[in-house]
Amino acid sequence: MVSIVKLFPKQHGRSAPLEDKLKVWTHHHLWDIPSATINHNYIFGKTNRQELMILAKGWKSVRTYQTFVEALKTLPNAAQIELATVTEVIRVLQLLRVPLKFKDFQKIEELSRVFHTPHRLKDRNITLNYCAAKDHHFMGRGDLLAIFSSLELPFFVQLTARYKQNEQGIVAFLKSLKWHHEKKLQNVEVSADSEFGTPKVRNQLTNSLHATVHIPNYGRSKNQIELTSEQKTRRKSIERVIGRLETFFSLEHPPFLGSELVSLHTHLCVLCDLLLASFNIFSGNQAHPHSLRGIRG
């Protein structure tokens, strides 16, 4: 690492040593850690990997590492530093006789291939997402799903690039929904989470779909809309439908890679759920759709 340090401009005397920052940078990508924050917690948190890494100086905040990476990208010789770091890591791994499945390492991100092939390298369209309700990071995509709340049955689904939906993606989903099902959407009442409560989404629902909207305002607006208990209960029905689709058909865990095949999987999940509901009706099970019996062969 000493020779690589010479490639950097002189830094402030109180800064953490560049050797330490390079070790943290390497640790982040070699062990394929999802985010800078998690990387920081592994090194300076409860697992305390800083002792194994023999770091001369620790730091309290992840911002120290993030600032280093951001500054590195602006250097005119950033590519040279990155290649030199990767070359040194590979040299050490070869001395340790670590088998390398992948030979041509050029980028720091490619070090994640040393111990396994990350999902994101097999399918480059997926993104790192975070579910606050489960406090869980994961690599994948998202779906937008429309259901009939009275029946608790899905009727339209669309794959999205990210788990966290944005206003533009939701509006595009609603336009597609109208194009496919406009005749079925007469005098409807729409319930959804607050992320659907932005002005553009509300405008699409009221002026284009002519729907009555029961959605809380997005963000911390002072003019929040108070929902009735019935409206809040109706909004929760989407979670039960998603749970059923996951239980029966693994909606959230498609066994395929690539947006086209994953999109096909999500549509097949909806189709299979509707067929399962039809099977239950023909077989005499008149219970609520949430009590559907699976087909056993």
> Could you read off the pLDDT of 158-167 as tens digits, one per residue?
988 777 788 8
Same domain assignment for residues 70 and 153: no
Query: Model pTM?
Result: 0.61
Residue 146 lies in a domain: yes
CB 100 within 8 A of CB 90: yes
CA–CA dist 26, 39 (Å, integer): 10
Total domains present in the chain: 2
Domain containing 200 equals 136-291
Residue 77 lies in a domain: yes
Helix (H, G, I), strand (E, B) or coil at 46: coil
pLDDT digits (tens, 9 = 90+) for 143-182: 899 988 888 889 899 988 777 788 888 888 889 988 888 8
The CATH number given to whatever domain includes residue 174 is 3.30.420
What's the confidence (pLDDT) of residue 40?
A: 93
Residue 28 lies in a domain: yes
Task: Write down which residue in 117, 148, 170 finishes a domain.
Answer: 117
Residue 19 lies in a domain: yes
Same domain assignment for residues 154 and 267: yes
List the beta strands (DSSP E) in the chain.
127-131, 136-140, 142-148, 153-160, 189-191, 212-214
pLDDT digits (tens, 9 = 90+) for 92-135: 999 989 888 877 888 998 898 888 877 767 777 787 777 777 77
Closest CA to 5 of 59, 53, 52, 68: 68
